[in-house]
Amino acid sequence: MDQRPSQCIHTNMKTLTLSRYICEMTLQEYNYVQEKASKLAAASLLLALYMKKLEYWVPFLEYYSGYSISELHPLIRQLNKLLTFSSYDSLKAVYYKYSHPVFFEVTKIPTLDVLKLEEILNY
């Protein structure tokens, strides 16, 4: 994962860990193979910012990642859907890894309701 955008906006470790969790959840999902790693990282970080209610960092992420926020919207929707509806049977190792206190128990952070996400994206 490209850490430059997260370092430039001084993201805290819990938010960065949530972003990494989102990214790792895509590892066994064929739908994400065609995505550039940098785009997936930017979308994961952006979703983590939205989940943590840190929207004020969004313009900085856009600047430092090189991706427009609107360009990331479809991927953010996909990632949120993955987190909300995924079967943890196939990704138990990733889920359990990030449910540990060492990883700030980020699996306990609630995903965004689809309507709330749309409200954020259409703002």
pLDDT in tens, 18-73: 999 999 999 888 999 999 999 999 999 999 999 999 888 888 888 888 999 999 99
Domain ranges of the chain: 4-121
- With 50 as the cut, is the pLDDT of residue 102 above it? yes
CA dihedral 62, 114, 14, 63 (to 10 degrees): 0
> pLDDT averaged over the chain?
88
For domain 4-121, is the CATH number 1.10.472.10?
Answer: yes
Residue with tokens 């960092």: 57
- With 70 as the cut, is the pLDDT of residue 12 above it? yes
What HEC string does 67-100 produce?
A: CCHHHHHHHHHHHHHHHHHCCCCCCHHHHHHHCC
Between the alpha carbon of residue 74 and those of residues 10, 32, 83, 121, the distances in Å are 25, 12, 15, 10
